Amino acid sequence: MNRGLSRGCALMSIGLLLAAPLTSGQQPDVVARIRAEGQQRSSALGLYRALTDEIGARLTGSPSHMQAARWAIERFKEWGLTNTHLEPFDFGRGWQLERVSVEMTEPRYVPLVAYADAWSPSTTGVVSGRAIYIGDKNAEQIQAMAGQLRGAIVLTHLPQAEFVDRDRPQPGLDDRPVATGNPALAGPRRATAVNDLTDLLKKLGVAVALRPSAYRDGTVGVTGNRATPTDAVPTIVVAGEQYNVIARLAAQGRPVSLRVELRTRSFEEDRNSYNVIADIPGRDPALRDQIVLVGAHLDSWHTASGATDNADGAVAVMEAMRILRAIGAEPRRTIRVALWSGEEQGLLGARAHVAQHYATPGARNQLAVYLNDDPGSGRTLGFYMEGNTQAKALFDRWLAPLTDLGATRNIIEGIGSTDHVPFNEAGMPGFNVIKDFGAYDERTRHTNADYPERMTDEALKQSAIVMATFAWQAAMADGMIPRKPAK
């Protein structure tokens, strides 16, 4: 009999059935029940569809990020999590894209694949006219063109010659030595460095600046800078191959006309952004003040659906919490989930959380472990162990029953650039999952191609099961997870 059914289901939320509590004596059973719940009654795909199709891109400070945060809060409440709240931190001006349209109208009509940098101001209405190419000019030469540049559509960079053609090395698949780290990404180039190009273009009254994306085949990589002044020159990134057509023609003096419209909106009223926090409270009086934290960033860049970066990670940790509640798990330590904001602007939400909650050695000792789900997509292969050999021995034991799900190897190496980093920097044990990198760097990360098709239902389920299992093990372990000796 499924004990989950014996208590009825007052909460008719996605897949949640309250079950009789499980205690530490039943631990071996729990790992199996996590798998059964995660595989047979998964909500992962539904959560993923809601986050990517219904809400979509979730730029920090945008209304859609707030919509996602509130949506997550509602799910956590439905599932019966406690301490469910939005945790503010100072962020700055919010921004949202309302319209962008870039078209070539001469020598022929071509609609262009183009996106605004986040935090770019709007153009003044529709801007039409000759494209002026300055990719090969130095500051002096640009200054000399002042007469042509006022109110103009300007191509600021050379045609894109190098493209992003590689994903980072894939750790975790076999026993070979591991290479980690982000690949060096090709960027747009200019013939001569102009340090203050932005200021110069502003001074000369340029209407809008276009530059090429370094991704191939219509993929456009776009981020943005939240410190962009509201009166800066509007900036737009165009698909590399299309930019090249325009730039080559314009460089030869052939007439190329463009029509550009960019409409963006700023939000100044609330300069906070918010992490989403919720708990499954610990039941052991001696251990319940210790926190096992699982998390992922909920924010994304603004051009697609932020599916692989990082809706898949957010769903993995949400579904892990749902699974643990659904099977009635009663952990010894408190299991807390955090959906970070501001990751893309510099791990801001996680940094704020560390500063707010783990400022003293005593507080830091209460964090049993932080488990993060971010870079890559697909299934979870294991964890990056950040050079912590003792913790690796423990994690290897916890991974063993999951190998048939494709989680086969923890690696001793670490990984940077995501939300476990501030925990490690403060001397706490933070680890990130190893994911598949197929097409992540080359295609989906921070691009207009970050859509949910790169994840399968199986991979979403598996990632949640791995995360729930590790959270449970960490919450039940007799001792603390070993910390790396201080250097």
- Shortest distance, position 321 Cβ to Zn ion, whole Å: 22
Whichever of 60 and 123 has its CB closer to Zn ion, that residue is 60
What's the CA dihedral at 263, 268, 272, 278 to 10 degrees? -60
- Does residue 295 contact residue 317 with C-beta atoms inside 8 Å? yes
- Shortest distance, position 418 Cβ to Zn ion, whole Å: 8
268-294 burial: b if 16+ Cβ within 10 Å, else e: eeeeebbbbbbbbebbbeebeebbbbb
For residue 249, report the phi and psi dihedrals to the nearest 5 degrees: -65, -50
Residues 5-64 that bind Zn ion (CB under 5 A): none
Residue from 172, 218, 217 nearest 392 by CA: 172
- Shortest distance, position 6 Cβ to Zn ion, whole Å: 43
Whichever of 37 and 309 has its CB closer to Zn ion, that residue is 309
Measured CA to CA, the distance from residue 60 to residue 111 in angstroms comes to 29
Whichever of 309 and 419 has its CB closer to Zn ion, that residue is 309
Whichever of 39 and 223 has its CB closer to Zn ion, that residue is 223
Q: Strand, helix or coil at 426?
A: coil
- Does residue 51 contact residue 314 with C-beta atoms inside 8 Å? yes
Q: CA-CA distances (angstroms) from residue 126 to 49, 97, 118, 156, 426?
A: 35, 15, 19, 20, 49
- Shortest distance, position 301 Cβ to Zn ion, whole Å: 7
Residue nearest Zn ion, Cβ-based: 309
Q: Compute the radius of gyration of the chain from its Cα atoms.
A: 25
The conformation of residue 377, written as its DSSP 8-state character, comes to: E
Whichever of 313 and 429 has its CB closer to Zn ion, that residue is 313
Strand order of the β-sheet with 153-155 is: 110-111, 94-106, 257-267, 126-133, 153-155, 208-212, 235-238, 114-116
Range list of H helices, 22-178: 27-40, 44-49, 63-78, 139-144, 146-149
Whichever of 60 and 424 has its CB closer to Zn ion, that residue is 60
Whichever of 151 and 346 has its CB closer to Zn ion, that residue is 346
Residues 288-317 that bind Zn ion (CB under 5 A): 309
- For the window 251-290, what string marks contact with Zn ion as x by the rule CB under 5 A? ----------------------------------------
Whichever of 309 and 319 has its CB closer to Zn ion, that residue is 309
Whichever of 181 and 229 has its CB closer to Zn ion, that residue is 181
Measured CA to CA, the distance from residue 189 to residue 160 in angstroms comes to 7
DSSP string, 149-183: HTT-EEE-SPPP------PPP--SSSSS----SPP
- Does residue 187 contact residue 193 with C-beta atoms inside 8 Å? no
Residues 453-482 that bind Zn ion (CB under 5 A): none
For residue 108, report the phi and psi dihedrals to the nearest 5 degrees: -155, 170
- Shortest distance, position 147 Cβ to Zn ion, whole Å: 41
How many amino acids of this chain bind Zn ion (CB under 5 A)?
Answer: 1
Whichever of 309 and 386 has its CB closer to Zn ion, that residue is 309
- Shortest distance, position 434 Cβ to Zn ion, whole Å: 16
- Shortest distance, position 176 Cβ to Zn ion, whole Å: 27
- Shortest distance, position 306 Cβ to Zn ion, whole Å: 8
- Shortest distance, position 445 Cβ to Zn ion, whole Å: 6
- Shortest distance, position 446 Cβ to Zn ion, whole Å: 6
Whichever of 33 and 445 has its CB closer to Zn ion, that residue is 445
- Shortest distance, position 56 Cβ to Zn ion, whole Å: 16
Q: Strand, helix or coil at 247?
A: helix
For residue 46, report the phi and psi dihedrals to the nearest 5 degrees: -65, -40
Q: CA-CA distances (angstroms) from residue 342 to 61, 301, 353, 435?
A: 8, 10, 11, 21
Residue ranges that bind Zn ion, judged by CB under 5 A: 309
